[in-house]
Amino acid sequence: MTWNRKDILDIESLSVEEIKSVLDTADGLKEISERSIKKVPTLRGKTVILFFHEPSTRTRVSFDIAAKRLSADSISISASTSSLVKGETLIDTARNLESMNPDVIVMRHSSAGTPYLLSQKIPTPIINAGDGMHAHPTQALLDMMTVREHKKELNGLRIAIVGDITHSRVARSNIVGFRKMGAEVRLAGPPTMIPAGIESLGADVVYDFEEAIDGVDVIMMLRIQKERQRNFLFPSEREYAKRYGLSMARLKKAKPDALIMHPGPLNRGVEITPEVADHINSVILNQVTNGVALRMALLYLLAGGLRNAADH
Amino acid sequence: MRLIIKGGHVIDPGNMDAVVDITIADGIITDIANSADDFRQKDCHDIRIIDASDCFVVPGLIDMHVHLRDPGHEYKESIETGIRAAAAGGFTAVCCMPNTHPVNDNRQVTEYIIKTAAQFHSVKVYPVASISRGLKGHDLSEYGELKEAGAFAVSDDGLPVSDSQLMRRSLEYAKGVGVKVISHCEDPDLSAGSMNEGLMSTRMGLAGIPNAAESIMVMRDIALCELTGMPVHIAHVSTKESVHAIRDAKLRGVPVTAETAPHYFTLTDEAVRKYNTNAKMNPPLRSTDDRNAIREGLADGTIDVIATDHAPHSVLEKEVEFDKAANGIIGLETALSLGLKLIEEGDITFETLIRKMSINPSKIIGIPRAVIVGAPADLTIINPTRSYIYDVEKGFSKSKNSPFNGWEFKGMAVYTIVNGRVVFESK
């Protein structure tokens, strides 16, 4: 197919064909990272700005490496080094960046919806690298890539997503993405962490962890943020680990070959025991590896113009 | 100077419903008759005749909840521009909330507002002073002196009075002074969000504000109202549960009154889609169920008043991240048309609308108004069939933060008359 989309703002706006096209492209580009010379000239002369208004290590490094492996010049801006701390508005900062003619802006922001705001104000393609609790489309795409790699087909799979659904942009984007690709999605977590009306995205909600993972093909554990304890979302890490931590004993409820996933960073001993994190079925590090290929694919599709992705 | 309004259908609920001519001299209604004397031949320089055929002539509309931003935030609105917007919307009087800078918690600010407004010989402005000094929720403002200066009511609007003891004392003290208390109902611990809590907030990844954040405080204020026997007026009701609580309280005879705003009976949280900051306000736009409950509350008398909560903000506060954007929308210039739309949709009658936008607020704030001989000529002439497309850029308010820009409306104010003076006429 021909790629016509300017921005990657969320999963909702992508068609099934577009998602497949991104995943196919990423599959093809993955091999570059396995070479001894990990660089192709595809995006030589292109500029990618990594505009991170919220702290990030994994995602930013992943994009940075992805850009460099395609020979694009990547520049990082974080909240503390940008003029935002000097009182400049987000739109003004973006317009200034725009004036330096970048080819793609990758942005992360703590406020939901900011990539929409920028995409309306500037013509440069924008990739949403996470906006508040709203969306994290590149994480969902790399998760779909990882599952597809192991299970061949997403259609018909059963996926359980467990943890703080309310505050998770990863969960939201994955629910939408996996549902779109024909998988069944179950959500589990304490009711304090299940947001109102989440079923409307097509997911089933069960509060009981073991029921949620019964017979599933994939278990995706979400990070528990310790600071949430202050919001009365859970009494203690100890109790959370007991009720919602993925242990070897619980893992038996899932299919024997169920994939274990986590978007990171891990809280070993809280939402996941160390044995499960390092289990043979854990693909947590494959997710990170695939993240680079997936982001290379998106940069290529957005900055590379209108070439047919499958031709690569 | 005489003014004759000819051939209009006068609707003054409870008083008059007839096609008559109204004669006004020196700001006072001097004659209401089937056919007014034509003064033109006697005194042609000093008379103006308005042809009001096909129009309704109603007692002047009152908006008992606006933010004029003056003093302090004149870049958003000034008393002058706020008055012009009000006149254009058909309002002959507005009540302005105290969250100015400095706060209207003292005689100087109250007097400044009254004096400034009076210069324009236009829409009447009635200042609301603050419940607590500096809107801080710690001590009572000096209601006695504020009343002397011209404040008719107190409210910490924009902020809730979290301390129930302070709210109780405010109601009791206000009773002695003779000022109304208007309550902004919000539980701040529950309301830490930027839109309605529900399907939309979940999809958009925004922290939600549940209905209970409002209704809990409505119920508290009803309880305090029962305790003190002092009337309380609930501002900007947005939820089904609040409507139920107020309805039940009224049935028990509790002296509670309530208002809602046009956006709560018109829009739902769907309007926030695409992170539209011009649909962000506090309380937030709610669900369809809530919107319907608000309409029922208007129809059955649970909600007494339609007030705009006109809240001007510039692009500085609105063209930003959604969760950082300021709350509020302008409403003076669209309220009447949105009210007329409600009639078109069969929810209320024209008479009910005029009660909500004129008669009831006048009773609550204690300014008598009627279309009778001897009364001040504060009148609004409404053409119910004239259609137009609302263009916020052509509006009179300094700010442009309206979710109704581009809407097609049927029906508008064509003349606004204050003390016999035409302060607005539509082209």
User: Residues B60-76: pLDDT tens digits?
Assistant: 999 999 999 999 999 99
**CA–CA distance, A282 with A144 (Å, rounded to integer):** 15
Subunit contact A200:B205, Cβ cutoff 8 A = no
CB B419 within 8 A of CB B27: yes
**CA–CA distance, A160 with A218 (Å, rounded to integer):** 6
pLDDT of A82 reads 66
Q: Is the pLDDT of residue B397 over 70?
A: yes
Of A90, A133, A135, the CB nearest to B320: A90
Angle (nearest 5°) at CA A284 between A282 and A286: 100
pLDDT of A22 reads 97
Subunit contact B206:A134, Cβ cutoff 8 A = yes
pLDDT of A138 reads 98
Angle (nearest 5°) at CA B304 between B114 and B55: 80
- Closest residue of chain A to B323, computed from CA coordinates: A111
Subunit contact A134:B274, Cβ cutoff 8 A = no
pLDDT of B39 reads 54
Residues A145 and A274 in one domain: yes
- Assess A136–B contact: CB distance below 8 Å, yes or no: no
Residues A106 and A70 in one domain: yes
**CA–CA distance, A289 with A269 (Å, rounded to integer):** 24
CB B210 within 8 A of CB B201: no
**CA–CA distance, B180 with B154 (Å, rounded to integer):** 6
- Reported for B22-28, long-range contacts at CB under 8 A and 24+ positions apart, including other chains, are B22/B57, B22/B371, B22/B377, B22/B379, B24/B377, B24/B417, B24/B420, B25/B1, B25/B420, B26/B1, B26/B420, B27/B376, B27/B377, B27/B419, B27/B420, B27/B421, B28/B374, B28/B375, B28/B376, B28/B377, B28/B420
In chain B, CATH 3.20.20.140 sits at 60-365
pLDDT of B370 reads 87
Q: Which residue has the tokens 């809530």?
A: B290
Give the residue among B288, B404, B284, B303 at the shortest CA–CA distance from B348: B303
Q: What is the mean pLDDT of residues B199-211?
A: 97
A245 by DSSP, 3-state: which?
A: coil
Q: Among residues of chain B, what percentage have pLDDT more than 90? A: 95
Subunit contact B202:A114, Cβ cutoff 8 A = no
**CA–CA distance, B322 with B46 (Å, rounded to integer):** 54
Specify if A114 maps to a domain: yes
Specify if A270 maps to a domain: yes
Specify if A303 maps to a domain: yes
Residues A123 and A36 in one domain: yes
Q: Is the pLDDT of residue B45 over 70?
A: no
- Assess A197–B contact: CB distance below 8 Å, yes or no: yes
How big is the A-B interface in CB pairs under 8 Å?
Answer: 69
Q: Among residues of chain B, what percentage have pLDDT more than 70? A: 98
Task: Give chain B positions within 8 Å (CB) of A114.
Answer: 321-322
Tell me the pLDDT tens digit for each residue of A271-298. 999 999 999 999 999 999 999 999 999 9
Q: Quote the tokens at residue B359.
A: 């008669």
Of B200, B275, B320, the CB nearest to A116: B275
Per the prediction, chain A carries an average pLDDT of: 93
Specify if A250 maps to a domain: yes
DSSP states along B26-69: TTEEEEEESS---GGGT-GGGEEEEE-TTSEEEEPEEEEEE---
Q: Is the pLDDT of residue A228 over 90?
A: no
Residue type, A13: S
pLDDT of A312 reads 43
- Which residues in chain A (58-117) have CB-CB distances under 8 A to chain B? 89-91, 109, 111-114, 116-117
ipTM of predicted complex: 0.91
Task: Give chain B positions within 8 Å (CB) of A133.
Answer: 205-207
Of B199, B206, B320, the CB nearest to A112: B206
Q: Is the pLDDT of residue A218 over 70?
A: yes
Specify if A116 maps to a domain: yes
Residues A272 and A303 in one domain: no
Bridge partners for B140 per DSSP: B132
Of A91, A133, A200, the CB nearest to B199: A200
Subunit contact A197:B320, Cβ cutoff 8 A = no
Q: What is the CATH number of domain B2-57+374-425?
A: 2.30.40.10
Tell me the pLDDT tens digit for each residue of B86-131. 999 999 999 999 999 999 999 999 999 999 999 999 999 999 999 9
Q: Which of B232-261 are b and which e, b meaning 16 or more Cβ less than 10 Å from the residue's Cβ?
A: bbbbbbbbbbbbbbbbebbeeebebbbbbb
CATH number at residue A149: 3.40.50.1370
Residue B42's pLDDT band (boundaries 50, 70, 90)?
A: low
Residue A79's pLDDT band (boundaries 50, 70, 90)?
A: confident
pLDDT of A42 reads 94
Residues A241 and A306 in one domain: no
Helix (H) or strand (E) holding B239: none
Angle (nearest 5°) at CA B337 between B336 and B341: 115
Give the residue among B341, B329, B250, B255 at the shortest CA–CA distance from B297: B250
Q: Is the pLDDT of residue B311 over 60?
A: yes
Q: Which residue has the tokens 């009494």?
A: A235
For strand B28-33 and strand A184-188, is the pairing parallel, antiparallel, or unpaired?
A: unpaired
**CA–CA distance, A204 with A217 (Å, rounded to integer):** 15
Residues A110 and A173 in one domain: no
Domain extent, residue A253, equals: 137-287
Subunit contact A90:B274, Cβ cutoff 8 A = no
Residue type, B384: P
Q: What is the mean pLDDT of residues B214-221?
A: 98
| Helix extents (H) in chain A | 16-29, 58-69, 90-98, 114-121, 137-151, 169-180, 209-213, 237-244, 248-251, 274-277, 284-303
pLDDT of B369 reads 82
Q: Is the pLDDT of residue B182 over 90?
A: yes
From B156, B187, B309, B378, the catalytic residue: B309
Q: What is the torsion angle, in degrees rounded to the nearest 10, for the CA atoms of residue A245, residue A248, residue A254 and residue A258?
A: 100
Residues A196 and A242 in one domain: yes
Q: What is the mean pLDDT of residues B374-381?
A: 97
Q: Among residues of chain A, what percentage have pLDDT more than 70? A: 95
Residues A130 and A218 in one domain: no
Residue A310's pLDDT band (boundaries 50, 70, 90)?
A: very low
**CA–CA distance, B98 with B128 (Å, rounded to integer):** 6
Q: Is the pLDDT of residue A177 over 90?
A: yes
In the sheet that holds A126-131, the strands lie side by side as: A73-78, A47-52, A104-109, A126-131
Query: Which residues have CB under 8 Å from A89's CB, separation 6+?
Result: B316, B319, B320
CB B158 within 8 A of CB B184: yes
Q: Residue B297 gets which letter from DSSP?
A: H
- Closest residue of chain B to A176, computed from CA coordinates: B203
Q: What is the mean pLDDT of residues B386-399?
A: 98
Q: Quote the tokens at residue B221.
A: 């204020």
| Helix extents (H) in B45-163 | 79-88, 107-119, 143-149
Q: Is the pLDDT of residue A309 over 60?
A: no
pLDDT of A56 reads 87
**CA–CA distance, B382 with B60 (Å, rounded to integer):** 10
Residue A192's pLDDT band (boundaries 50, 70, 90)?
A: very high
For domain B60-365, the question of CATH label 1.10.1060.10 is answered with no
In chain B, CATH 2.30.40.10 sits at 2-57+374-425
B interface with A, Cβ–Cβ below 8 Å: 197-208, 274-275, 316, 319-324
Specify if A3 maps to a domain: no
Residues A253 and A159 in one domain: yes
Predicted TM-score (pTM) of this structure: 0.93
Residues A269 and A246 in one domain: yes
- Closest residue of chain B to A11, computed from CA coordinates: B203
Tell me the pLDDT tens digit for each residue of B135-174. 999 999 999 999 999 999 999 999 999 999 999 999 999 9
How many domains are there within chain A?
2
Tell me the pLDDT tens digit for each residue of B312-349. 999 999 999 999 999 999 999 999 999 999 999 999 99
